Amino acid sequence: MAHDDEVSRIQKAKDDFLATAAPERWHNVELMSSWQRSQLAIGTPENVIDVPHVREDLLDAHLLDMFQAPLARFSESLDGTGLAVLLADSSGRILQRWCHDTTAAAHLDRIGTSRGAVLAENAVGTNGVGTVAVTGKSVQIRGVEHFAELYRNAVCTGAPVLHPATGKLLAVVTVSCDVRPGTDFLRPLLRSVTTQLEQHVLDVEQPSARHTFNAFLSATRTQTAPVLAFGPEGLLIQNPQSGSLSTEDIGLIRELCEDGMRDGKHSVPLSRGTATISVTNLDPGNRIVVLLPREAGAPVARQAPAPERPRRDELAGHSADWLRTAREVAAHREAGTPLIVAGEPGAGKTSLALGTPFRPEAHARGGRIADAAEAHVCGASPWLQQVASRLAEAGPLVVRGVETLDAKVLAGLRSVVESTPARGPVVLTLTAADEAEAEAFALKLGIAHLWVPPLRERPQDISVLWHAFALAAAPGTGLVPSRETLELLRAYPWPGNVRELKSVFTQAVKSRGKGPVEPADLPRALQKAQTLTMIERMELEAIQRALQEAGGNRGKAAEILGISRATVYRKMKAYRLTA
């Protein structure tokens, strides 16, 4: 009811403005100024019948190339929200739109917003693209606040991308959706995105990156295939054709290049099958990659397993935090330096330490694991002698559960690790309530540590883990969670982490047997899990990105988001986030 009253009030203010030569000043001066500019250029709202378009060859392809990669990543995070992302030039011409679901695409189609659309104020009136281009400020135009009736059912939130050195307007980024409550958070979210884009511009304009960008432009002129440019400090530029590559594909190509891939053609296992890429290394850390089309007559490559179907010997998970931790643990194993892998109960510490999924029945025979609990059964001295003898054997050794050892046995373990010439890496696992506790323990032992992110902080890994369990224990049963079930699984806080998820899977095997797993097949605690709304999910992801950008500093994250520190603390508590 209150929303209807607000809409009526705004509509009356606009009607009075259009009908009166000298209307009364309204509290929203910037909106009235935009209506005035629109009226001078267009006349009445009824004159906006449709959206004008320009030919694609008149659009700034270089600007799109520069921002394609970061905006594609941002749009992926909005999948399922009904929100669409637009990139426009400084004249309000749409260079590209990103929408990952039918709701968002249908919304843009209804309002005539596609590549080449001209949303300048003097063409279609007040809107979240053209008004930003005129004022250079972020705006949110809701429903009837638009000048033209065409946008009556739309919410357009736009923000400028300014050149970090000159302050010149480079582009406008807009998030558009149907009218709905709960869109206030879009403005600080967009400020965070445009700040990252402005830093991206700065990165591109560094001498080394500028050389890479020019080489990228040269490659795109001669190629109709996906082209990627990897630069220093994670800089990524990609052409629109690269939209066919998944985030995992691009991440894999980057990793292969960073591992020293030489100039020339290479076969790589992408999510859609084995593909051939051409690599050109420029300065150190800079390279151009072209995905080559399959040669005529060549056999179609066998489809590589999708990311959700890992092999039995692979660690399941594709979230950024999990992959980063796995790479760092692997680096310690390769270097042979002792390491503590710490985390909450059941988070997957032993699997990370081994570099392969931990299966008690298999690893008990392999001699690669020493369980600290055995020290309480056979005595400290025999157990330490056992650890020393295993260290002398070839291969890695994982010591599980060191938090159960008292100070005296811990000191003995440290002495054994330091004095025994190891023939393989030594990794200790530690169960701790939080990273601060793990850090204090590691300092006391004098060994480096890594923290394993809990499952609640990487919900995107739940489907990957579920499929890994099914592949190992119930292949061919089609025992996959339905969409509603997956929403419940992702909303649950998982105090028991991966171990608890596996227990839920085992119960589903017994109750369902085969076919889609429905909410009724889950334990009651999960059936009652509070699923997030689309806006809440987007809000959560925005806070996670800001915290990551701020290195965990809540104050800096609040500045990035444009909200108070108290709000960040409150939201983190509500979503059970850690820094």
Q: What was the pLDDT predicted at 488?
A: 85
Mean pLDDT of 340-345: 94
Q: What is the mean pLDDT of residues 120-124?
A: 94
**Percent of the chain at pLDDT exceeding 90:** 24
How many helices (H) and strands (E) are present in the chain, helices listed first? 23, 15
Quick check: 146 and 152 in contact, CB under 8 A?
Answer: yes
Residue 194, pLDDT above cutoff 50: yes
Task: Write down the pLDDT at residue 295.
Answer: 55
Q: For residue 1, what pLDDT is reported?
A: 44
- Position 505 confidence tier, pLDDT thresholds 50, 70, 90: very high
Q: What is d(CA 206, CA 235) in angstroms, rounded to the nearest whole number?
A: 11
Q: Of the spans 14-28, 173-187, 398-412, which averages the highest pLDDT? A: 398-412
pLDDT digits over 44-84, tens only? 999 998 899 999 888 988 899 889 888 988 887 787 788 89
Tell whether the model's pLDDT for residue 555 goes beyond 60: yes
Residue with tokens 């100039």: 263
Question: How does pLDDT run across 261-295, given as a tens digit for each residue?
Answer: 788 888 776 666 678 888 988 877 788 888 887 65
String of b and e for 349-381 (b: at least 16 CB within 10 Å)? Answer: bbbbbbbbbbeeeebeeeebbbbbeebeeeeee
With H, G, I as helix, E, B as strand and everything else as coil, classify residue 192: helix
pLDDT at 133: 95
Q: How far is CA 55 from the centre of its chain?
A: 33
Query: Rounded to 5 degrees, what are φ and ψ at 308?
Result: -80, -5
**In the predicted structure, residue 474 carries a pLDDT above the cut 80:** no
Instruction: Provide the pLDDT for residue 131.
Output: 96
pLDDT value at 222 more than 60: yes
- Stretch 491-512: mean pLDDT: 90
> In sequence order, what are the beta bridge partners of 53?
117
Please say whether the beta carbons of 30 and 135 come within 8 A.
yes
If you write DSSP's letter for every residue of 24-52 in order, what string do you get? Answer: PP-S-HHHHHHHHHHHHHH-SGGG--S--
How does residue 155 score in pLDDT terms, banded at 50, 70 and 90? very high
Confidence of residue 361 (pLDDT cuts 50, 70, 90): low
Coil, helix or strand at residue 456: helix
pLDDT one-digit tens code per residue, 291-332: 887 654 444 333 333 333 444 455 777 677 788 888 899 888
- How many of the other CB atoms lie within 10 Å of CB of 4? 8
**Per-residue model confidence (pLDDT) at position 529:** 67
Distance CA(226)–CA(334), nearest Å, equals 34
Query: Using CA atoms, how far apart are residues 44 and 38, in angstroms rounded to an integer?
Result: 8
- Strand order from edge to edge, sheet including 227-230: 236-238, 227-230, 287-292, 273-281, 264-270
Contact 304, 271 (CB under 8 A): yes
Confidence (pLDDT) at 311: 46
What is the residue type of 502? K
Tokens of residue 16, six digits: 């009075």
∠ CA 458-460-461, nearest 5°, is 75
What is the reported pLDDT for 530?
61
Over residues 541-567, mean pLDDT: 80
**CA distance linking residue 357 with residue 217, whole number of Å:** 43
Q: 56: closest CA among 116, 143, 129, 140? A: 116
**Distance, CA of 307 to CA of 318 (rounded, Å):** 8
C-beta of residue 177 within 8 angstroms of C-beta of residue 530: no
**pLDDT bracket for residue 246 (50, 70, 90):** confident
Using CB atoms within 10 Å of the CB of residue 305, give its burial: 0 to 12 exposed, 13 to 18 middle, 19+ buried.
Answer: middle
Which helix (H) or strand (E) is 391 found in, with range? helix 380-392
Average pLDDT over residues 9-16: 83
β-partners of residue 238 are: 228
Asked whether residue 26 carries a pLDDT value surpassing 50, the answer given is yes
Q: CA separation (Å) from 182 to 100, 534, 537?
A: 20, 10, 12
Provide the pLDDT confidence category of residue 549 given band limits of 50, 70 and 90.
confident
Per-residue tokens: 565: 């520190």
Chain-centroid distance, C-alpha 115: 25
Tokens 């108070």, residue? 564
Dihedral pair phi/psi, residue 400, rounded to 5°: -90, 140
Q: 429 in helix, strand or coil? A: strand
Token couple for 396: 């890695």
Please give the full DSSP string across 485-537, using - where no structure is assigned. HHHHHHHS--TTHHHHHHHHHHHHHHHT-SSPBPGGGS-HHHHT--PPPHHHH
Specify the pLDDT at position 93: 96
Least confident stretch, 118-127, 255-264, 403-412, 502-511:
255-264
**If you average pLDDT over every residue of the chain, what do you get?**
82
Return the higher-pLDDT residue of 424 and 107. 107
Residue 118 DSSP one-character state: B
Per-residue pLDDT, 62: 85
Across 501-506, average pLDDT: 92
468 or 150, higher pLDDT: 150
Q: Angle CA(343)–CA(349)–CA(350) in degrees, nearest 5?
A: 150
Per residue in 85-121, pLDDT tens? 999 999 999 999 998 778 888 889 999 999 999 999 9
- How many Å apart are CA 271 and CA 268, to the nearest integer? 10
> Comparing 202 with 311, which gets the higher pLDDT?
202
What residues pair up with 156 in beta bridges, in sequence order? 141, 176
Burial per residue of 310-329, b for 16 or more beta-carbon CB atoms within 10 angstroms, e otherwise: beeeebbbbbebbbebbeeb
Q: What is the dihedral of CA 139, 94, 77, 126, to 10 degrees?
A: 20
